[in-house]
Amino acid sequence: MKIYNDISLQEVEQLAADANTILVDVREPWEFEEFNIGGINIPLAEIREHHAELLPFDTIVVVCTNGTRSKVAAKDYCRSDVFQTKNIYHLQGGILEVED
């Protein structure tokens, strides 16, 4: 099975600068509206419905509040056959640290 990589916020910012990278925030829409670090919002419960939107990108970076939901999403992407050639990253610790 493909494995995702844990990365820091600084690494997220570096990766997000690349046009072949998509930042996916898997929190609920109200959470994303209150505060986000960019990217698109796809709630965790809906990620499988949105796989096609991510296919054009080589790298997928998944974020959430504290890292729990993004880890679940990263594992799901790694299990999916359509993402086997993609680089999958998960923001370790989530965006909670950014809000402080």
**Per-block average pLDDT, block size 10, for the chain (100 residues)?**
89 93 98 96 97 96 96 96 95 80
Task: Give residue 2's pLDDT.
Answer: 79
Phi and psi at residue 9, in whole multiples of 5°?
Answer: -60, -40
Question: What is the pTM assigned to this prediction?
Answer: 0.94
5-99 folds as: Oxidized Rhodanese; domain 1 (3.40.250)
Residue 50 has what pLDDT? 96
pLDDT value at residue 43: 98
Residue-level pLDDT at 99: 57
